[in-house]
Amino acid sequence: MNMISRRNLIKAGAAGLALPALARSGFAAQPLKVGFVYLGAIGDYGWTWSHEQGRKALDAALKGKVATNYVENVKEDASAIPVMKDLAQAGNKLIFTTSYGYMDQTIEVAKQFPDVKWEHCTGYKRADNVGTYNSRFYQGRAVTGVIAGHMSKSGVIGYVGSFKIPEVVMGVNAFTLAAQAVNPKITTKLVMIDTWFDPAKEAAAAETLANLGCDVIAQHVDSPAVLQVCEKRKIYGFGYGADMSRFAPHAHLTASLDLWGPYYISRAKAVLGGTWKPDDTWWGMKEGILAMAPYSKAVPQNVRAAADKIIAGTKAGTYEVFTGPIADQSGKERVPKGQRMADKDLLVMDWYVKGVQS
Amino acid sequence: MNPGFLIDALVTVVGVTTPILLAATGELVVEKSGVLNLGIEGMMLIGAVTGFAVTFNTGPALGDLAPWAGVLAAALAGVASSMLFGVLVLTLGSNQVATGLALAIFGIGLSSLIGAGYVGMIVPSFDSLFPDRLAGDPLWRVVFGYSPLVYFALLMVFAVGWFLNRTRAGLILRAVGENDLSAHSIGYSVIAIRYAAIAFGGALAGIAGAYFSMVITPMWAEQMTAGRGWIALALVVFSGWRAGRLLGGAYFFGVLMTLELYAKASGFSFLPSQFWAAMPYIAAVVALAVISAREVAGTEAPACLGRPFLPNS
């Protein structure tokens, strides 16, 4: 396993020193070389960390058959292109680009390396050798929403988000709808902090929400800062992407866990078996790439039962949080009673449900 | 609006402002001596990871005193990293802008390397300096309810203001920054004074970093200062190199950011979100533009700012 990071390259003093070594290892490679492009640092304890766990799971499951390597801290701009080219030139035949902002760069580089299979996470552009994959994160939001609906005494719950993009909007809406199913009077105060990672700002946003009366705060940002504020303020919160209970043993009620391993293993197997196709995959709890962390002691039995019911229903396909009637913030009905929102509508969702204050 | 609400908001403002104020106060002294150190971000991160690591490792032995050992170590780590910069720009006469940027990048890398083993750990934070009766009082916490580093930051900005304007040593430091050759010709050691100023800046940047990893969020995460070093740098320029305005400017920034959060949580927003995302970079670019266009806008800048001291050439 090659551990290549931009930072290590900088430390070595010259990328030129490292690259020939990388290329040499490509010639000798017998196993399938699988590359990963990471947005953050593998130590971010969130998004990149969960992909890194997926890579390790792939390593363990197909030991000897695959050789994986990754590049971390790759920005979502043109500088991602040389990183992807380097990975392809180093002999990686399957490359996962694990953030939305790599979409155009992946398509562009994939054209130049037609014999490499590319997999872009959370995007929507595909090509003959580019597939996309995503997780139904909102299913986990629905579980935490039900718990929040039960646990909130003030009826005001908070949400620290990053940007108003469909993935975040879906989460806010699923969380709010599930909480309102428990307590129709619930309102969600939403603060977008315009970045994925800034612990000090995440903390300030959580403090602000707590000051405004929120007693349960969910988060869609990359650090556990929000949970640490919840712990200090003696209110509740949830981990996202990973179990973050160590940061907030009292406040942390549960977390949705991203388990990319099963997907990465299935795709590597498909390449090894020659059956790989550029699919658009949107898995969730049913397929095992999304799960919940254990409930904390603070979650009472009846709330656990309610949350378990949502999980079981989601896995069985009998529960879908985006089932009408759903009204937007202005009160206009967007989804009629009994109807489920189509995937294509979910993927472009840019409106908040009634009860979200943003 | 009840007083409790305002006090809550003020506590958030103080939390947002303190690390920027600390780092900017240190940089003010550095720049007053005629040296431009762009590496604040890197020194902060080295301070953040060192403070965290020392607190974590001395916790079992020192108990409640461990955070103090951590802050001391953060300050020393800041000094050490600033000395690296000092040797390059003062003794070896390298370009200050390039060396400062290199220090920033180096600090990001080194802190990630040191911190790799500390991800996912937590440390206890400082005990309050004041009895719970005051620190926890709904009203008096507005005065007594902060981390010790908050009071230290305020103390430092007043001390630096007094030092620069009211003491002989401060006068000498300013003379070195305004006209190094004259200061040299009447017998002051320009290089030694600048070393001392850079070390002071490093110490405060290190403590500012520790504020992130030990007070705001007691944890280590790579690049957790998220660009605050650049804002601190810009703040020094915007303050016109004056301690009083520095304090005002830092709190203005803190109030603005907190107001934005309150506005969003209350359902409206008065500045486009992209503005906030671009803020650190805009601030850094404007600050550098002001410094380099001294004759136009930056007449308050120390005259020797950014120039190497070469008495024999």
pLDDT at A300 over 50: yes
Q: How confident is the model at residue A155 (pLDDT cuts 50, 70, 90)?
A: very high
Is there a contact between B267 and A45 if contact means CB atoms under 8 Å apart?
no
Nearest by CB: A10 against B105, B224, B265: B105
Which of chain A's residues have a Cβ under 8 Å away from the Cβ of B109?
A: 7, 10-11
Length of chain A: 358
Q: What are phi and psi of B280, to 5 degrees?
A: -60, -35
Region B276-297: mean pLDDT is: 67
Q: How far is A247 from chain B (nearest CA, A)?
A: 7
Nearest by CB: B16 against A192, A200, A223: A200
Task: Give me the residues paired with residue A340 across strands.
Answer: A323
CA distances from A240 to A133, A150, A186, A220, A243 (A): 19, 19, 21, 7, 7
Is there a contact between A191 and B264 if contact means CB atoms under 8 Å apart?
yes
Place of tokens 């304890």: A45
The CATH code that applies to domain A2-135 is 3.40.50.2300
Using an 8 Å Cβ cutoff, are A106 and A116 in contact?
Answer: no
Using the Cβ of B1 and the Cβ atoms of chain A, whether some distance falls under 8 Å is answered with no
Nearest by CB: A358 against B11, B108, B267: B267
Tokens of A101: 């902002």
- The residues near B63 (Cβ < 8 Å, ≥ 6 apart) are none
Tokens of B251: 């709190």
Nearest by CB: A199 against B217, B261, B273: B217
Hey, how many other C-beta atoms are within 10 angstroms of the C-beta on B7?
Answer: 17
Is there a contact between B274 and A194 if contact means CB atoms under 8 Å apart?
yes
pLDDT given at position A21: 43
Asked whether residue B308 is domain-assigned, the answer is no
Is there a contact between A358 and B221 if contact means CB atoms under 8 Å apart?
no
Using the Cβ of B128 and the Cβ atoms of chain A, whether some distance falls under 8 Å is answered with no
For residue A159, the SS3 value is strand
Asked whether residue B49 is domain-assigned, the answer is yes
pLDDT given at position A23: 44
Report the amino acid identity of residue A36: F
Q: How far is B186 from chain A (nearest CA, A)?
A: 42
pLDDT given at position B149: 96
Nearest by CB: B265 against A163, A209, A228: A209
Q: Which of B12, B123, B147 to mutate to test the interface with A (most CBs of A within 10 A)?
A: B12
Q: What are phi and psi of A336, to 5 degrees?
A: -70, 160
Region A225-250: mean pLDDT is: 93
Using the Cβ of B272 and the Cβ atoms of chain A, whether some distance falls under 8 Å is answered with no
To the nearest whole number, what is the mean pLDDT of chain A?
Answer: 90
In A156-177, which positions are buried (b, 16+ CB within 10 angstroms) versus exposed (e)?
A: bbbbbbbbeebbbbbbbbbbbb
What DSSP letter does each residue of B38-49 carry, written as one string?
TTHHHHHHHHHH
Using the Cβ of A191 and the Cβ atoms of chain B, whether some distance falls under 8 Å is answered with yes
Task: Give me the residues paired with residue A15 across strands.
Answer: none
Q: How confident is the model at residue B277 (pLDDT cuts 50, 70, 90)?
A: low
Q: Which of B216, B269, B281 to mutate to test the interface with A (most CBs of A within 10 A)?
A: B216
For residue A113, the SS3 value is coil
pLDDT given at position B238: 83
A76-125: pLDDT as tens digits: 999 999 999 999 999 999 999 999 899 999 999 999 999 999 999 988 89
**Residue in chain A lying closest to B254 (CA):** A204
Tokens of B11: 């506590």
Nearest by CB: B261 against A43, A195, A204: A204
What ranges make up the beta strands (E) of A110-241? 117-121, 130-135, 156-161, 187-192, 216-219, 236-241
Backbone CA torsion sign across B1, B256, A157, A236? negative
Tokens of B78: 């800041």
Peptide bond into B138 cis (omega under 30): no
Give the C-alpha separation, A95 to A85, whole Å.
10
Give the C-alpha separation, A8 to A17, whole Å.
11
pLDDT at B186 over 50: yes
- The residues near A239 (Cβ < 8 Å, ≥ 6 apart) are A224, A227, A245, A252, A254, A255, A256, A293
Is there a contact between A10 and B217 if contact means CB atoms under 8 Å apart?
no
Place of tokens 């503005």: B275
Give the C-alpha separation, A105 to A77, whole Å.
8
- Within chain A, which residue ranges are assigned CATH 3.40.50.2300? 2-135, 137-258+289-357
Using the Cβ of B191 and the Cβ atoms of chain A, whether some distance falls under 8 Å is answered with no
Q: How many domains does chain B have?
A: 1
Report the amino acid identity of residue B135: A
pLDDT at A47 over 50: yes
Q: How confident is the model at residue B1 (pLDDT cuts 50, 70, 90)?
A: low
CB pairs under 8 A between A and B: 119
Helix (H) or strand (E) holding B263: helix B243-265
Hey, how many other C-beta atoms are within 10 angstroms of the C-beta on A297?
Answer: 9
Nearest by CB: B12 against A193, A199, A207: A207
Peptide bond into A82 cis (omega under 30): no
Hey, how many other C-beta atoms are within 10 angstroms of the C-beta on B93?
Answer: 12
Helix (H) or strand (E) holding B15: helix B3-32
B129-146: pLDDT as tens digits: 888 888 888 888 888 889
Region A258-269: mean pLDDT is: 96
Using an 8 Å Cβ cutoff, are A259 and A284 in contact?
Answer: no
Give the C-alpha separation, B122 to A228, whole Å.
10
Hey, which residues 224-243 in chain B have their CB within 8 Å of chain A? 224-228
Nearest by CB: A191 against B113, B225, B265: B265
- Neighbour order of strands in the sheet with A66-71: A2-3, A66-71, A32-37, A94-97, A117-121, A130-135, A280-283
Using an 8 Å Cβ cutoff, are A153 and A186 in contact?
Answer: no
Q: How confident is the model at residue A6 (pLDDT cuts 50, 70, 90)?
A: very low
pTM of the model: 0.86
Helix (H) or strand (E) holding B70: helix B66-86
Asked whether residue B313 is domain-assigned, the answer is no
Which of chain B's residues have a Cβ under 8 Å away from the Cβ of A44?
A: 221-222
Asked whether residue B161 is domain-assigned, the answer is yes
pLDDT at B301 over 90: no
Give the C-alpha separation, A278 to A262, whole Å.
17
Using the Cβ of B37 and the Cβ atoms of chain A, whether some distance falls under 8 Å is answered with no
Place of tokens 């370009």: B95
Hey, which residues 101-120 in chain B have their CB within 8 Å of chain A? 105, 108-109, 112-113, 115-116, 119-120
Asked whether residue B178 is domain-assigned, the answer is yes
The larger pLDDT score, comparing residue A185 to residue A163, is at A185
B204-249: pLDDT as tens digits: 999 999 999 999 999 998 899 999 999 999 899 888 899 998 999 8
Using an 8 Å Cβ cutoff, are B115 and B52 in contact?
Answer: yes
For the domain made up of A137-258+289-357, the CATH class stated in words is alpha beta
pLDDT at A12 over 60: no
Percent of chain B with pLDDT over 90: 61
Q: What are phi and psi of B293, to 5 degrees?
A: -100, 45
* Least confident stretch, B7-11, B109-113, B252-256: B252-256
Boundaries of domain holding B101: 3-292
pLDDT at A3 over 70: no
Asked whether residue B104 is domain-assigned, the answer is yes
Using the Cβ of A76 and the Cβ atoms of chain B, whether some distance falls under 8 Å is answered with no
Give the C-alpha separation, A80 to A101, whole Å.
9
Using the Cβ of A203 and the Cβ atoms of chain B, whether some distance falls under 8 Å is answered with yes
Cα-Cα end-to-end distance for chain A: 45
Length of chain B: 313
Is there a contact between A199 and B216 if contact means CB atoms under 8 Å apart?
yes
Q: Which of B8, B141, B264 to mutate to test the interface with A (most CBs of A within 10 A)?
A: B264
Query: DSSP code of A63?
Result: B
**Residue in chain B lying closest to A192 (CA):** B264
Which of chain A's residues have a Cβ under 8 Å away from the Cβ of B225?
A: 200
Nearest by CB: B16 against A192, A204, A209: A204
How far is CA B255 from its chain centroid? 18
Alpha helices per DSSP H over A212-241: 225-233
Which of chain B's residues have a Cβ under 8 Å away from the Cβ of A209?
A: 265
Which of chain B's residues have a Cβ under 8 Å away from the Cβ of A194?
A: 273-274, 276-277
Using an 8 Å Cβ cutoff, are B55 and B70 in contact?
Answer: yes
Using the Cβ of B9 and the Cβ atoms of chain A, whether some distance falls under 8 Å is answered with yes
How far is CA B101 from its chain centroid? 16
